[in-house]
Structure 1
Amino acid sequence: MSLQTADLTSTPHSSSTSLNTTLVEAPTPSQNPTLALEKYKKKDAAKVIVRFRAIGNAPILKQNLYKISASNKFQAVIQFLRKELNYKASEPLFLYINSAFSPAPDEIVANLVKMDI
């Protein structure tokens, strides 16, 4: 936490009072770990629309548009799709964004949306 002090004195023509002012900055999340944790724990209410499209011999979903929280990791999307397709953890499942790349499971969905634009 930084502390700044300013000493303001009056001019010789006015009264001889002096004014001491102390300015204290509010702690930033990087300075206060508790604030950083609280900000991190907050769930983002923003949602993104995800469109699943089967390629190759993948099974077709009954519904192909889903709303997913933007703060979720891509792993949540993988787990959701496994559940919808009744795939076991041992069965291979490959997900691509715009048929171009496969993100890491720990990537945040909101970041993937920003990359797609």
Structure 2
Amino acid sequence: MPITAFYASLLTPLFLVLAVRVVAVRKSARVALGDGGDRALLRRIRAHANFAEYVPLALVLMGLAESLSASAWLLHGTGVALLAGRALHAFSVSRQREDIRHRVAAMLTTFAVLAILAATCFVLSARRAFMG
């Protein structure tokens, strides 16, 4: 699954940056658990957590689609969209003065990626399972 591995390797640094940003604010705010009422910490926690909530499923679906011989252009298209959507979401949620339009665009992009990959897996697996 080289295409999935490629996008996983591009998404991992973003995940690590988001994690380090949480740790940095936790340290400066002296908050070990939760957000301690610190709005900046809450935003960073949510940016990191949201990434952790959506990216693993997207990568699993991408890997399954790739294993079912989905087209490379579809895999690259969804990979680029996932990367862009997650980066935009992290940027948007992390800002104190959030532009909700960026967040909405990022989430719609992520939802579209999940829907496209799930539909691809459904169609390709159904073909193999029921049509030989």
**Same fold per superposition (TM over 0.5):** no
Indicate the structure (1 or 2) with the bigger Cα radius of gyration: 1
Scaled by the length of structure 1, the TM-score of the pair is 0.29
Greater strand fraction, Structure 1 or Structure 2? 1
Greater helix fraction, Structure 1 or Structure 2? 2
Higher relative contact order (CA closer than 8 Å, sequence separation 6+): 2
Scaled by the length of structure 2, the TM-score of the pair is 0.27
